[in-house]
Amino acid sequence: MSDPHIVIAAYNEERNIAEVIENLKSEGYTKIIVVDDGSSDNTYSIAKSQNISVLRHIINRGQGAALQTGMTYALKNGAEHIVHFDADGQHDPKEIKDLLLPLQLKRAQVALGSRFLKKQEVPFKRKLLLKGGIIAVWVLNGIRLSDTHNGFRAFTKEAAKKVLITEDKMEHASEILEKIQKYKIPYEEVPVTIKYTEETLKNGRKGQGQFDSVKILLKMIMKKVGV
């Protein structure tokens, strides 16, 4: 099997990025692409010193934009499989092979991580927010999933070429699902664990706060009604 390209969008992650990369390396992954989304801290130089591909957005464009930059780069470098992986250490590198399995067995072209398929404690406030997202996606896009806003995903190159992210900010999570539906790309949900630390929970700055969720929902509705 060919080595998957792991795309990590990183914005001011100097505290976590080195460990995240090292953990991926120790699992045997070599094709790691970090997209530094215009960080103001040392994310770029720390990632660069790890001897991997590091792309740098000269100004901050948002997580969706950074992921797409990584995907475009991976496709240009002959990627067969592309994995989205979080920069803050929320995901477990050991689970990448679980995500890739349905793709390798040709059961699906996209694998979506789901934290709710696994017996895991999700903080209540987070759960409320996520369930809201699940209902919104179900109503607006007609896809019923157990977890719609999970950043742990895997794509075959065919799927990656179709799912071109144009939403620069956090709406990309819904956009990906919308494109899966639009292009009828076969997908599968895979149980994954999300590690909640104090830091990842208070990280509202990156569009995961309650207020941003409202903004994202409004934008999704506006898009649906054709504004």
Nearest to another protein of 27, 168 (CB atom): 168
55 binds another protein (CB under 8 A): yes
Distances 161 to 29, 48, 133 between C-alpha atoms, Å: 22, 27, 25
Among 7, 8, 46, 65, binds another protein (CB under 8 A): 65
166 makes contact with another protein (CB under 8 A): yes
- Mapped onto helix, strand or coil, the DSSP state of residue 194 is coil
> Comparing C-alpha atoms, which of 152, 76, 103 is closest to residue 1?
103
* Whole-angstrom distance, CA of residue 130 vs CA of residue 148: 7
Using CB under 8 A as the binding rule, whether residue 76 contacts another protein is answered as yes
The CB-of-10 to another protein minimum distance in angstroms stands at 12
Question: Order of strands, edge to edge, in the sheet holding 81-86?
Answer: 53-56, 32-36, 5-10, 81-86, 153-156, 110-114, 187-191
Task: Tell me how far, at minimum, the Cβ of 33 lies from another protein, in Å.
Answer: 9
The site for another protein, by CB under 8 A, has a size of 18
163 touches another protein (CB under 8 A)? no
Residues making contact with another protein (CB under 8 A): 35, 38, 53-59, 61, 65, 68-69, 72-73, 76, 166, 168
